[in-house]
Each structure stands twice: as C-alpha cells, then as structure tokens.
Amino acid sequence: MILLSLAAATELRAQDTTETREKENHKKISYHFHLYAPPQPRHGYITHGGNGPLLSFANVKDNGEHVRNIPRFTIFFNVGSNYNYDFSNNVGIFTGLNIKNIGLITKNDTVKLKRRVYTMGVPLGFKFGNIRDGFFFFLGGEYDLAFNYKEKTFIDGDKTKFNEWFSDRTPLLMPSVFAGFRFSPGFGVKVQYYLNNFFNKDYTHMVNGVKEYPYQNLDANLAFVTLSYNFGGSSIKRHDYHKTKTKYRKGTKVIIEKKTVIDN
C-alpha cells in the first residue's frame, strides 16, 4: 500500500510539472512602447486688475534746492487689463492697458500743493518663475499718456483747484520702468519709476499780461509702490490655476508596457 501511494503521488507531481511546462511554452510576452508628450502650455490669456493702492514718492528740487514733499497715497482710480503669453510654466511676457492716478505733494511754511495726473499706460514686461501657481518675478517698461491734470493749492487753510484735459503742464508721454514679484495667484508688489520730469519746464501762461514759466526751475522724479492684484488670476473666462497646472508637466516620457497572454 505504501509503495502504491508513493507511485501515485509521483505520477501526479509529474503531470503538474508537465502542465506547467506546457503553459510556459504557450505564454506570450510582448513589450509595448508608448510616447507621452505633455500638452502644450496655455499660451495667451487676459487678466484683469492691474494696480491697486499707490504710494507715491518724489524727489523734488526748485532751482536746485530740495523741496519738502509728502508721500501721496491713493486708491482711486487704478485699473487695467493685461494680455499674457506664456512660453512655458517658467517664462512669459505681457502687455496691456492700465489707468493710473499718480502725483506728488509739496509743502513749505505757508503753501501746500497737490498735483496729480491721470495716465493711460501700455506696459511691456517679462515674467519668470513659477508663473502658473507660485512665486514669480516680473520687470519691464511702460509708456503713459497723460490725459488729465489736477492741481490743488492750500494757503492758510484756503483751497483753490483746477484741472485740465491733456494739459501742457506735464509731458504728454511719460516713460517708466518697473519691477516686482507675485506671491500668490491674485496679489503682488510692484515698484515703478518715471524717467522724465513730472513737470513741463517749457509750459507758459499769462498772468496780468505777463508770460510766466511756473515750472521752469522745477525738477521732480516720481516713483511709486503698489499692491497689484489679479496679475495672473483670470482670463476671458475665469482662469483656474489648479485645473490648468497639469498642462505644464515637464518632459516627454517613454512608457514601456509589458503584456503576458496565455493561449489556451
């Protein structure tokens, strides 16, 4: 009986081994190569917002002498839109149209003067960093068209004021340079510096029949700091960073897939 049992077990093991070998012989292994290229970046889109609150500073001299000036803070009316073109997730350019309220305040013992101008500017800038969903820097230049000038004079508590459309009191075109950074999808900080004199030294007007040059000896270089907003936050439709950041996966991948098929 013992011998019969051992013989039966040996025969069963041999049959299993034979079946396993037959299955291995009928097994087909294939390798499939897939080329995966990430989608192209979303190239062009529009953002709305522009400059927020502005804090302006000026270096003012009258006939070479320093004139006391007061930092000027304004919220209204600073808006704009930018057209952005991203070459990748890390490099892009932008331009747009922005309206700004810029100016300066000077003061001596008896007279306080507030002068401001509304401008319409066209920037051209570059941005680099994590453009879509992180921290990036930007810098560039801008040309502003001055379209409304306003001046207020305070003498011993009495105020007079006037404003002029497309006034000759300031240059019509005001070039500037700027730089800044964005630290969240909607907000950033920008510093902008104007390259020319805020005043037009050649401006003249008549006072009691006498031609005067009120700004002939004035030199004023203006700069401001602003909290910019929605710099990269929306397009024509709302631009969702988290939905589109997968468009910027880096690198093309080759995927090797191994498939095993057993023929019955």
pLDDT digits (tens, 9 = 90+) for 153-176: 999 879 999 999 999 999 999 999
Determine how many CB atoms are found less than 10 A away from the CB of residue 182.
24
| 138 torsion bin: left (phi>0), alpha (psi -120 to 50), beta (else) | beta
Residue 231 domain-assigned?
Answer: yes
Residue 174 domain-assigned?
Answer: yes
**Would you say 192 and 226 are in contact if contact means Cβ atoms under 8 Å apart?**
yes
The chain-wide mean pLDDT, for the chain, equals 79
pLDDT score recorded for residue 135: 87
User: Would you say the pTM of this structure is higher than 0.85?
Assistant: no
Cross-strand partners of 100 = 119
Range of the domain at 182: 44-242
Distance of alpha carbon 78 from alpha carbon 98, whole angstroms: 7
Q: What is the DSSP letter of 236?
A: S
Domain count, the chain: 1
Residue 248 domain-assigned?
Answer: no
Residue 2 domain-assigned?
Answer: no
Residue 68 domain-assigned?
Answer: yes
Residue 153 domain-assigned?
Answer: yes
Residue 128 domain-assigned?
Answer: yes
Over the stretch 204-244, which tens digit does the pLDDT of each residue have?
Answer: 988 888 999 999 999 999 999 998 776 444 444 444 444 44
Counting residues of the chain whose pLDDT is more than 70, the rounded percentage is 70
Distance of alpha carbon 250 from alpha carbon 248, whole angstroms: 6
**Would you say 215 and 169 are in contact if contact means Cβ atoms under 8 Å apart?**
yes
CATH code, 208? 2.40.128
